[in-house]
Amino acid sequence: MEGISFGVMQGGGGQELQPEYDLMILGAGPAGLTAAIYASRAGMNTLLVEKEAIGGEAASTSMIENYPGFPEGIKGAELTERMRSQAQKFGAQIVLAAPESLDLWAEPKKATLKGQPIRARSIIIASGTSPRRLGIPGEKELKGRGVSYCATCDGPMFAGKDIAVIGCGNSGLQEGLFIRKFVKSMTMVEFLPTIQAEEILQERMRSYDNVQWLLNHETVSISGQDWVESITVRDRAGGEGKQIPVQGVFIYIGLEPNTDYLDGQIELDKWGFIPTDEKMQTSTPGVFAAGDVRVTEMRQIATAIGDGAVAASSAYHYVDLKIKEQA
C-alpha cells in the first residue's frame, strides 16, 4: 500500500510473524478469507489469524447449494480451501493461533500471538459463531461419545445406528440430510410446534421413511455410560415425557457469537453480536466486523463474503487516511 510507513506487503504469505501489519483479521471463515483476498490484493500487508480450522463452520458443511456459481453444489471444505489459496496467492499471511492479548483502543492496535507482540493499523473481527449448547444433563459429559455438533465430521461413524437430531432449522435439516444416508433411523426433535427450515429442505427430508418427527418437544436429558444410549424428551403441549433409545445426538439449536475474547473493547448487542454501520465499522475506530459475528439479518456464506469485501475496503481507506494525517 503506497505511502504506508510500515507493513508494505513483502511476501506476506510467509510463516514467520512480522512485528507490524497494515491489517490483522481475526477469523478465517468466508468473511475473513474474503477480507484477506481483497486487502492483500490492494497491497495491504495482511495477517489472518485463526484459532481453530481454516474455513470456519462453512468448511464442515457437507454440501453448499445456494452459493452462486456452483449449480451442482460444492463441498464446504473445497470452497473454503479455494478461498484460502486465493488469499495466500495475493500475499496474505495465515497463522493458526489465538490472541493472548488484544488492545483495540491502541493506535496502532496491539496483540500478542504465540508470545510475540504484534501491531496492526486496523483490525477486522470475523470470528464467527459457535453452536449453542442445550445445557442439559449428559450433554457435556457425553460430548465426543455420541454427542456431536458436526454431522460432516462425525456422521459416518453412526452407520446403521439410531440417532436424534435436535433442532429443525436449516442447519438441522441440512446436516440431517447428510447423516440420513448412514443411519438406521433418525428422530428429528424440535422445541417449536413447527419446522423452521426452508420448504425445499422439509420436502427432501419428508421423502425418507427412516425419519421420525417430534415437534413441540423439549429435550430434557441425554443418558449413557461410556456412550450415548438414549434421550429423554417432554411434550410441551401435554407434559408427557418419554425416553428414546439412540446411539447418537446431533445438536443444532442456533449459534452464539465468538466475542468473549474482546473484553468489552467494542460495543456488543444483548446477545453478544457486534453492531456495525454499512461500512462494517464498529464502535471502536479502526476496528471493523464482518460475517456471522456481526448484527445482521442473514448469516449465509454469500452475505459473509459481501461483508468481508466491504470491511477490507473500509480498512484500506481507514489506514490510508491515517497515513495522510501523519504525513
The cell for 267 is 460495543
Model pLDDT, residue 43? 96
**CB-CB contact of 53 with 32 (8 Å):** no
Q: Where residue 225 falls among pLDDT bands split at 50, 70, 90?
A: very high
Average pLDDT of every residue of the chain: 92
Residue 220 near residue 243 (C-beta atoms within 8 A)? no
pLDDT for res 106: 95
Nearest to 54 by CA among 81, 35, 76: 81
In CATH, the number for domain 133-251 is: 3.50.50.60
How many Cβ atoms from other residues are within 10 Å of residue 41's Cβ? 17
Question: Could you read off the pLDDT of 165-222 as tens digits, one per residue?
Answer: 999 999 899 999 999 989 999 999 999 999 989 999 999 999 999 999 999 999 999 9
Question: Is 90 exceeded by the pLDDT of residue 3?
Answer: no
Known catalytic residue: 154? yes
For the stretch 127-149, pLDDT in tens is: 999 889 999 999 999 998 999 98
Residue 325 has pLDDT above 60, yes or no: yes
Closest among 252, 290, 287 to 267, alpha carbons compared: 287
Q: What is the CATH number of domain 20-130+255-326?
A: 3.50.50.60
> Can 153 be counted among the known catalytic residues?
yes
pLDDT at 13 over 80: no
Task: Indicate the domain borders of the chain.
Answer: 20-130+255-326, 133-251
Residue 7 and residue 121 in contact, taking contact as beta carbons nearer than 8 Å: yes
Structure confidence by residue, pLDDT tens digits, 295-305? 998 888 999 99
Tens digit of pLDDT for each residue in 147-175? 998 887 788 889 999 999 999 999 899 99
Residue 254 makes CB contacts below 8 A (sequence gap 6+) with 131, 132, 167, 169
Catalytic residue among 153, 260, 263, 277: 153
CA distance 201 to 176: 10
168 is catalytic: no
Per annotation, catalytic residue among 22, 103, 150, 307: 150
Catalytic annotation, pick one of 22, 154, 162, 307: 154
- pLDDT at residue 64 in the model: 83
Check for a shared fold between 20-130+255-326 and 133-251. yes
pLDDT digits (tens, 9 = 90+) for 37-78: 999 999 999 999 999 889 988 887 777 888 899 999 898 899
Would you list the DSSP string of 225-290?
Answer: SSSEEEEEEEETTT--EEEEE-SEEEE-S-EEES-GGGTTSS---TTSPBP--TT-B-SSTTEEE-
Compare 104 and 298 and report the one with higher pLDDT. Answer: 104
pLDDT at 12 over 60: no
Check pLDDT > 70 for residue 309: yes
pLDDT of amino acid 135: 94
Q: Write down the pLDDT at residue 10.
A: 35
